[in-house]
Amino acid sequence: MIVSVEKAVEIITNGDLVAIPTETVYGLAADAFNVDAVKKTFQQKDRPSDNPLIVHISGSGQLEMLTDSVSDAAKTITESFWPGPLTIVVHKRANVPDVVTGGLNSVAVRMPDNPETLALINRTGPLTAPSANRSGSPSATRATHIEHDFGVDFPILTGQAPSLGIESTVLDIREEPFTILRPGSVTAEMIESRTGFKVQSSEKKSDSDKHSPGMRYTHYKPTANVSLIDEVPSVLKSNSTYIFHSANELKSGEGIYNYMGDFDKLAHNLYDHFRQADYLGHSQIFIEKLPNDENSSILFALKDRISRASSS
């Protein structure tokens, strides 16, 4: 059920949950400083309580509500990328409830790029928002995905549906070089070239603490089995979804998609294809292997999500 900013303010102020559109995926929002409301988020999603939430803010000034000292690096990075698909991990202020951070002494923060959501946060203050899906399912990128997971009456704030389709980059900026804990459409190269700070990916660190706590869980996994294929087969199996990016002859049919090199569009639709495969009862999803070198900034994140979905 689509609701206005006014109605969403009322829901949040009452300590309840509302789904919010962002440029990445839909979020499931609660008042970050209301412990009972934040707890409802975990219940609604069936999410493990040690998987911390991202706090969404509408202006850099709100960062001071969440961390004691905003570093120069934080200022430079957020000025370059906010509002946008970059989450930063900083030392948390004592007043941020433990339920938000799963007991960690750090907090993840981002400013989403969506006018209605920013207008809501302006009125309510910081909101926690994990992706608006049941835990273990693909993130919700369409209002219909939220209706499927939480029912048709679940409130969804009005506004443009997510354009990117893949969750934000999570960057730990507590210690240099900074570490990417979850890849997204903002890449290490983009951060380095725009801000001059050195950035490494968590895979390069042997220390498992450097991984995003949530990466332990089986995210992004449809029920159908996901496998990678090297080329476009001449005969397609029934009861299967196919995602191609290079097919010359256009193959068509239910559950057959060809992106002709448009990886931004593929990212926009990926989770919907995963969900549609499940709704259609397909047992297999075949994805043509993505190319290695590509200028598209979304490609790295896309590969990460596809490899997670296809891992056993």
Q: Is 215 in the site for ligand TXA (CB under 6 A)?
A: yes
Phi, then psi, of 309 in degrees rounded to 5: -70, -25
Question: Between 25 and 267, whose beta carbon lies closer to ligand TXA?
Answer: 25
CB of 34 to ligand TXA, least distance (A): 17
Contacted entry of ligand TXA, Mg ion, none for residue 171, CB cut-off 5 to 8 Å set by kind: none
Q: What would the DSSP string read from start to end of 91-149?
A: EPPTTS-HHHHTT-SEEEEE----HHHHHHHHHH--EE--BSS-TTSPPP-SHHHHHHH
Question: Between 67 and 87, whose beta carbon lies closer to ligand TXA?
Answer: 87
Report strand pairing: 240-244 vs 284-288. Answer: parallel
Q: Are 36 and 43 spatial neighbours (Cβ–Cβ below 8 Å)?
A: no
Total length of the chain: 312
CB of 224 to ligand TXA, least distance (A): 21
Residue type (1 letter), 25: V
Q: Is 131 in the site for Mg ion (CB under 5 A)?
A: yes
Q: Which residues inside 271-310 make contact with ligand TXA, applying CB under 6 A? A: none
Q: How far apart are CA 49 and CA 38, in angstroms?
A: 10
Question: Is the preceding peptide bond at 177 cis, omega within 30 degrees of 0?
Answer: yes
β-bridge mates for residue 182, sequence order: 170
Q: Residues 78-107 vs ligand TXA: string with x where CB under 6 A? A: ---------x-x-----------x--x-xx
CB of 106 to ligand TXA, least distance (A): 4
Q: Is 141 in the site for Mg ion (CB under 5 A)?
A: no
Binding site for Mg ion (CB under 5 A): 131
Which residues are at the interface with ligand TXA (CB under 6 A)?
22, 24-25, 27, 51-54, 87, 89, 101, 104, 106-108, 112, 129-131, 167-168, 170, 181-182, 212-215
